[in-house]
A and B are shown apart, each in its own frame.
Chain A
Amino acid sequence: MSSMSDALRAEWTKLRTVPSTGWLLLAVLTVTVGVSALAAGTACPRSACAADPVRTSLTGVGFGQALVAGLAVSMVAGENAMLRLTFASMPRRVVVLTAKAVLAGVLVAAAAIVAVGLSLLAGQLLLPAGVAVAGAEPLARAALGSVAYLVLIGWLSLGVSAAIRDSAAAVGTVLGLLYVVPIVAAAVSDPDWQRRLQQVGPMSAGLAVQATRNLSQLPIGPWAGMGVLAAWSLAMLLVGGTLLRLHDA
């Protein structure tokens, strides 16, 4: 097990000493809270507000995730030629990937807890009825679910970048997977197909956890959607880990 703690320490040192880690975490926070506050401040122009207040005040999560993807991708593909050195000193590549996944999870979760907390605070202050009207249990589910969502997106991106190994192509693939599915779903007029796309798309399924109203009308339930996203992340990590083992560094 000592190799795992060595790997963790090595990865942590790398992350800590690269200035972009801090900047990207700050950007995750800024974009998430900024977009959330923008949405909460403008979504309900009059006192009557039909939109789900919790979902509205967590809008930024859907945009902050792009920076989470950037952070995770730069942890693997960002190493570039250095990856050979990493694997020469730590030949057990799956251990390296696991250490990266653990650290990515901790860092993203830390940034996400602050970002989600501030977003909900902004929603409480800016929305006419606040977010507390949703009730404690749904609110907690949406908040914890959003944090889990960002962590899972980080892992998904880590898996993709381990498989693709080129940071631009990896982050492009992740962003395409996340954003294009909902846009295509909106363009499809057949309601069955629309529902199916929203059920399998990692973003539309995963963000169902933020809903606190009309749960029965969602294409997929909150936790089932989180399960779909978790399956995506796990599959991508497995593919990434397998390819890391098989390919030359």
Chain B
Amino acid sequence: MRTELHAEWTKFRTVRSWVVALAVAAAVIVGLGLLPGRQGTCGTQGPRSECVVPIGPGGELVTDSFTFVHQHLTGDGTITVRATSLTGTLPSEEGSRSGLAPWAKAGLIVKAGTAQGSAYAAVMVTGDHGVRLQHNYTHDQQGPTDRVTSASPVWLRLTRTHDAVRAEESTDGTTWTVVGTATLPGLPETVEAGLFATSPQYVEAMSEQFGMNGAMGGPTSVTAGFDSVRQVGGWSSTWTGERVGGTDTDPGPSSHSVDGDTVTLSGSGDIAPAVEGAAGLGTSITQTLVGTFAGLVVAVVLGALFVTAEYRRGLIRLTMAATPRRGRVLAAKALVLGAVTFTVGLVSAAVVVIVGQKVLRANGVYVAPADLPTSLRLVVGTAALLASASILALALGVLLRRSATTVVVGVLTIVMPYLLAVSVLPAGAGDWLLRVSPAAAFAVQQTSVAYAQVSNLYVPAEGYYPLAPWAGFAVLCGWTALALAAATVVLRRRDV
């Protein structure tokens, strides 16, 4: 096997145009990653324009912006209200229309303080998802009630005991159902507690051929009516109303009024984990790896040429005469090709991931930070994606023997499903395609996390894939293995 490896490696490194092609691939991946065409406003409009995203108790980026009517609560206590109405506005072409965002939310909240990103637990009525208990941004639990109208109001109750907050709901104010209990570690003795309302960005997909799926949307607002406010425990007895996060008009209106035990709030924003893309802020570092597509084309060309060039010049006969064990020749070719494309992919992806974020930030684009394991997975995954694609092309080259056809088939099988999924196909068909086709491997570049409790366009064009990163990559490996097996069989049976 060492002889075969050595022979294939010598062939590869002595063809100057192949080495040039590798350099071109690296240059394109790095060049497109550092493209100057991305500009943002973070930090470029003076000293106070930096984009600061609050960090939640779990270390994740969060959105924390809502209308808050609150009192101090020292020690244990309970608050009960009746939610009587929930109305809102949605963006439209004329400005706004009435309607509720599915995740418009209003209800009771216990929060460590009014600082953005502080710990909280809240029980709420929502636009389209019933009664929920949410705490510390990423946790979400559903209660039994579906919908709130003035005809069928819902009672909500929060009970704080040390660092535990119990949420209950009721349809009549006498029989109570526990929605759940949230534990907030390190909750201070005195907390801010009361009523809140907020409504997130609304997004809607617009289909556009090869302009990729665009998105339209805008801020929404919600107005919630509560009455029968009852408190038990160490409450401070005067209500303070304020807006947490955002300014008076951005992202939407905020107002509140307290009249005896009746409270009306309207607000806009969200209390949820921050997401990238259509409904979120800025971009993820995955976007800097857009040059992977160009690198992929070069990897496919190289993989095809590594064997079709031998067919074209009849050199394959010489190769097989010198090394009659054809399976070994193919294995050696795959190993050499895989190692070379992996190395080039690794180096260029590392440069893009490290330098690309700095360039974007310097241009004022908000880039969601990625931790070390994620960055490593991006770099190694991109390299492995290129290597696996070139080996797939190699196997196709053995099967088809013609360079042009091999490249066309290779590029179409890997890139076409992706292009179809991000351009014309609706979400369901596109997701299906990205589960079974070689293009599933692009999932290895996903850094964004999808949350069920945040409305967003979780679509491939925004960096969200249907499969987990390495599972998606495994699909491509499966195709590559299948093609290699077929190539081995054909190579053994066929005359050279």
Given A179-B419, A189-B38: A168 and B297 interface contact (C-beta under 8 Å): no
- With the chains together, A164 CA to B78 CA distance in Å? 78
* Residue pair B35, A188 in contact (C-beta under 8 Å): yes
Contacting chain A: which of B240-248, B319-327, B422-430?
B422-430
Cβ of A184 within 8 Å of any chain B Cβ, yes or no, is yes
Instruction: Select one of B300, B404, B429 contacting A42, CB under 8 A.
Output: B429
- With the chains together, A42 CA to B291 CA distance in Å? 29
- With the chains together, A63 CA to B423 CA distance in Å? 12
Q: Chain A: interface residue count, which band? A: 35 or more
Given A168-B308, A179-B293, A203-B210: A43 and B425 interface contact (C-beta under 8 Å): yes
Q: Write the nearest CB–CB distance from B356 to chain A, whole angstroms.
A: 11
- With the chains together, A63 CA to B419 CA distance in Å? 9
* Residue pair A172, B407 in contact (C-beta under 8 Å): yes
Chain A residues positioned under 8 Å from B415 (CB to CB): 175, 179
Chain A residue at minimum C-beta to C-beta distance from B282: A189
Query: Which of B301, B305, B420, B428 has most A Cβ within 10 Å?
Result: B301
- With the chains together, A77 CA to B35 CA distance in Å? 33
- With the chains together, A204 CA to B423 CA distance in Å? 12
- With the chains together, A93 CA to B271 CA distance in Å? 70
Cβ of B343 within 8 Å of any chain A Cβ, yes or no, is no
- With the chains together, A202 CA to B409 CA distance in Å? 21
Cβ of B149 within 8 Å of any chain A Cβ, yes or no, is no
* Residue pair B209, A190 in contact (C-beta under 8 Å): no
Given A63-B416, A175-B408: A184 and B35 interface contact (C-beta under 8 Å): yes
Cβ of B206 within 8 Å of any chain A Cβ, yes or no, is yes
| Interface of A (DSSP majority class) | helix
Given A52-B209, A66-B412, A187-B290: A42 and B425 interface contact (C-beta under 8 Å): yes
Contacting chain B: which of A67-75, A129-137, A226-234?
A67-75
Instruction: Select one of B21, B412, B424 contacting A43, CB under 8 A.
Output: B424
* Residue pair B305, A168 in contact (C-beta under 8 Å): yes
A151-192 at interface with B (beta carbon < 8 Å): 166-172, 175-176, 179-180, 182-190
Chain B residues positioned under 8 Å from A222 (CB to CB): none
* Residue pair B293, A180 in contact (C-beta under 8 Å): yes
Chain A residue at minimum C-beta to C-beta distance from B288: A187
Contact with A along B1-35 (1 / 0, CB 8 A): 00000000000000001000100000000001001
Given A169-B301, A183-B293, A190-B37: A59 and B209 interface contact (C-beta under 8 Å): yes
Chain B residue at minimum C-beta to C-beta distance from A192: B37
Cβ of A246 within 8 Å of any chain B Cβ, yes or no, is no
* Residue pair B365, A189 in contact (C-beta under 8 Å): yes
- With the chains together, A167 CA to B40 CA distance in Å? 42
* Residue pair B411, A175 in contact (C-beta under 8 Å): yes
Cβ of B405 within 8 Å of any chain A Cβ, yes or no, is yes
Q: Chain B: interface residue count, which band? A: 35 or more
* Residue pair A175, B426 in contact (C-beta under 8 Å): no
B379-431 at interface with A (beta carbon < 8 Å): 402-408, 411-412, 415-416, 419-420, 422-426, 428-429
Given A59-B424, A66-B412, A172-B297: A183 and B365 interface contact (C-beta under 8 Å): no
Given A59-B209, A179-B293: A39 and B425 interface contact (C-beta under 8 Å): yes
Given A52-B209, A193-B37: A166 and B17 interface contact (C-beta under 8 Å): yes
Chain A residue at minimum C-beta to C-beta distance from B21: A169
Cβ of B207 within 8 Å of any chain A Cβ, yes or no, is yes
Q: Write the nearest CB–CB distance from A45 to chain B, whole angstroms.
A: 6
Cβ of B177 within 8 Å of any chain A Cβ, yes or no, is no
Chain A residues positioned under 8 Å from B208 (CB to CB): 51
* Residue pair B211, A186 in contact (C-beta under 8 Å): yes
Given A35-B420, A171-B404, A171-B408: A62 and B300 interface contact (C-beta under 8 Å): no
* Residue pair A73, B297 in contact (C-beta under 8 Å): no
Chain A residues positioned under 8 Å from B408 (CB to CB): 66-67, 69-70, 171, 175
Cβ of B90 within 8 Å of any chain A Cβ, yes or no, is no
Cβ of A127 within 8 Å of any chain B Cβ, yes or no, is no
Cβ of B141 within 8 Å of any chain A Cβ, yes or no, is no
* Residue pair A166, B403 in contact (C-beta under 8 Å): yes
Chain A residue at minimum C-beta to C-beta distance from B432: A42
Q: Write the nearest CB–CB distance from B205 to chain A, whole angstroms.
A: 9
Cβ of A55 within 8 Å of any chain B Cβ, yes or no, is yes
Chain A residues positioned under 8 Å from B309 (CB to CB): 168
* Residue pair A186, B294 in contact (C-beta under 8 Å): no
Q: Which 7 A-B pairs have the closest CB atoms?
A: A193-B37, A172-B301, A168-B403, A186-B212, A70-B408, A187-B290, A167-B404
Interface residues of A (CB under 8 A from B): 20, 24, 31, 35, 38-39, 42-43, 45, 50-52, 55-56, 59, 62-63, 66-67, 69-70, 73-74, 77-78, 80, 166-172, 175-176, 179-180, 182-190, 193-194, 197-198, 203-204, 207, 210
6 A-B pairs, CB-CB below 8 angstroms?
A: A43-B425, A50-B206, A51-B208, A56-B209, A171-B403, A179-B411
